[in-house]
Structure 1
């Protein structure tokens, strides 16, 4: 939702007139959209394809068709898998000429039937936007859609000013950190695919040798994986490091908190892009990441972050040892990564690429100022 908010709020208002529609629930950014003058409508689609949800979703589909017609929509820009399916059917029924889908991850959990549905719905899609080459390639292969149908637009990052020394000192005081304590940090939802268990295992194996180091894990569990946080807390306790692993929960000030980290670690098993890694790189925080394709894409195959073998806690521990033993090398790496990330992944670049494709398709369709939903 932050991604959509960033895009909508920065695209040319003289050319694009945006409407926001939340298909499954009112999103966390809805109030922000409304406060900025973007109309928000809410529907009640339910997830899944079971017979019990289809009648209700059919009703919601026709509500969506009526909304699209009433608003005079020229472009549908939809995101993720199931919302994109319903939005494309509604766009077809409404006669909307331009339909875009942005894919944010690799959707490894989809069934063969869902991949077949995606293949057929591609006929109703003007373009797919993928946040990484990996997402494009996996979607193209599994859904059997030609790569020519895709355009890759990497996520952009808002380059916040570096947190001042006073703010960093206040954070350290709030968490009772000794001035000599070094912090390893991670940001992400508490999910198995995010790999926080690997990070705890790796940290546990080196903790004795680095008594001045603690681990921060920022994020909260998701409804579909309840108990994840408790299992991570118990894992730290089994290794006797529970007093050195701090779980902060979700935070709105992540971009500031990054500046108390000496090392940022992204141990994910799966990612579509790796926005948290990119944010750390932009902040100049030296990073270590797993070698999965999406993260390798962000770090230029390990040029701008240390890399370890995915799902290998021992290899991660070895990288942590190197990073802690070579702080000057890591600072140089962080500086290089910041310069690269700010040039390659700016929000302005992301918005300009979207506007270019929107303009190209609108001009081809002979549409002036457009209504985008």
Structure 2
């Protein structure tokens, strides 16, 4: 006898960040459009999300939100299987989950008693082990997926190069909840502990090496000591502050943090940081899609980015790019952007750039692309 076919969607995630952010905002926009079609959507978050206020409020206010209980492989399988049954979900859409949980959720989908299509969302490049035997389990899982939704063309191209059929791959560039960026308060140098009158370069450094924080530190040092610029560096960190501080002190050969570098906590009104800064830096060595670059452009501040594939996809002005892994090239690009920002016509250029990202990265456009993918499957 054929198994039942359902239209509802279950989003299984390993998302437990301090703030709801663009990811959850995107899911909310998707849910609204699915509801308009008469389809339901469920959210599933990992146990650590229980510590976050936004997740607590979602669970309290929305009956379709679940935070998983801690447990091993079989506990995870049972919980996901139960949710698939209870929500009558015909699509399992997974985000960020680790390999063990991927296999557990696949087992849950295959044993829940009805047909379930598997959608794997890649928010970064998939890196397969180079050794043939070690790559086999990953390739097995990839073969089970019905669709892959990739956050950028670069991620999609790498996936196809790894052998995934192009017909299974969809590009849905990440969406930005622009409204939350409009919530900001004026910040001062004194409030942030930065030198008065210094130009401020802003970088988000939750992954010290991948995000290129070391390159930013060296570039700003060069600008100050070798080129005489009055510039400071603000590094926003959500965790591992002590480790970042040790890394920076080792780089610059000092025992105490200099006044021109400040480590700052994340803010829910992240627009306050953008509007305070004079230039935003993303000298990343690797990215799937850099939310912060698009957010900075929306906030109308100049940006500098490494010319890696996923950032070149964003179609930033040519002068915004620097050579990947090259601190001197980064320093050149920062200097150029600061000079250009003081020229006549810079405000118009920033306004035009803002309008482009509003049109390209809306929540609605992202949701439409994802729903079109579901329509192909159900």
Matched, 1:18 2:41: yes
Q: Shift of the alpha carbon at 1:350?
A: 0.8
Q: Is the 2:297–2:353 contact (alpha carbons within 8 Å) kept by the matching residues of 1?
A: yes
SS at match of 1:265: strand
**Equivalent residue pairs, number:** 345
Instruction: Confirm or deny: 8 A CA contact 2:249 2:257 kept in the other structure.
Output: no
CA change 1:255–1:91 in 2 (3 A) is same
TM-fit CA distance, 1:215: 1.3
- Cα offsets for 1:225-271 (capped at 9, x unmatched): x7233212443453997111111033322222100111111011111
SS in 2 for 1:247: strand
State the distance in 2 between where 1:314 and 1:85 align. 44
Match of 1:313? Answer: 327
Pair 1:155 & 2:169 matched: no
Per the alignment, residue 135 of structure 1 pairs with: 155
Counterpart CA distance in 2 for 1:123 and 1:64 is: 20
Kept in 1: contact 2:204–2:235 (CA 8 A): yes
Q: Deviations over 1:314-371 (max 9, x none)?
A: 1111112222333235655433321211111111211122222223433xxxxxxxxx
Partner residue of 1:117? 137
Name 1:369's counterpart in structure 2.
none
RMSD of Structure 2 on Structure 1 (CA)? 2.9
Residue pair 2:215, 2:327 contacting (<8 A) in 1 also: yes
For residues 207 and 321 of structure 1, do their structure 2 counterparts lie closer, same or farther at Cα, with a shift above 3 Å needed?
same
Note closer, same or farther for the CA distance 1:306–1:356 as it changes in structure 2 (3 Å cut).
same
CA distance in 1, matches of 2:194, 2:48: 40
In the TM superposition, what are the counterparts of 1:233-244 in structure 2 within 5 Å? 233-236=249-252, 238=254, 242-244=258-260
Offset at residue 106 of structure 1 (A):
1.1
Structure 1 segments of 4+ aligned residues over 6 angstroms from their partners: none
Partner Cα distance (2:178, 2:86) in 1: 38
2:268 and 2:253 map into 1 onto residues whose CA distance is 27
Unmatched runs of 5 consecutive residues or more in structure 1:
46-55, 363-373
Q: 1:141 to 1:114 in 2, by over 3 A?
A: farther
Provide the residue aligned with 2:7 in structure 1.
Answer: none
TM-score of the two chains, using structure 2 as the length reference: 0.81
CA distance in 2, matches of 1:239, 1:121: 48
The residue aligned with 1:366 is none
Residue number in structure 2 paired with 1:370: none
How far does residue 304 in structure 1 lie from its aligned partner after superposition?
Answer: 6.4
Three-state SS of the structure 1 residue aligned to 2:185 is helix
Gaps of 5+ in 2: 1-14, 16-20
- Secondary structure of 1:100's aligned partner: strand
Establish whether residue 42 from structure 1 lines up as the match of residue 68 from structure 2.
Answer: yes
Q: Is the 8 A contact 2:193 2:259 kept in 1?
A: no
Q: After TM superposition, give the deviation of residue 288 of structure 1 in Å.
A: 0.4
Q: Which residue of 2 aligns with 1:252?
A: 268
Contact 1:282 1:337 in 2 (8 A): yes
Which whole-Å CA distance do the structure 1 matches of 2:357 and 2:272 have between them?
A: 17
Q: Please give the alpha-carbon distance, in whole angstroms, between the structure 2 residues aligned to 1:60 and 1:133.
A: 32
Conserved? CA contact 1:21–1:43, under 8 Å = no
Q: CA deviation at 1:172?
A: 3.8
**Bigger mean CA deviation after superposition, 281-290 or 331-340:** 331-340
Instruction: Give the superposition deviation at 1:105.
Output: 0.7
C-alpha displacement of 1:66: 3.2
Q: Give the conservation status (yes or no) of the 8 Å contact 1:76–1:98.
A: yes
Q: 1:259 to 1:305 in 2, by over 3 A?
A: farther
Aligned to 2:302: 286
1:1-373 matches, within 5 Å, as 1=15, 2-10=21-29, 11=31, 12=33, 13-14=35-36, 15-23=38-46, 25-26=48-49, 28=52, 29-37=54-62, 38-44=64-70, 56-80=72-96, 81-82=98-99, 83-94=101-112, 95-108=114-127, 110=129, 112=131, 113=133, 115-142=135-162, 144-160=163-179, 167-168=185-186, 170-175=187-192, 180-208=197-225, 209-222=227-240, 227-236=243-252, 238=254, 242-298=258-314, 300=315, 302-303=316-317, 306-328=320-342, 331=347, 333-362=349-378
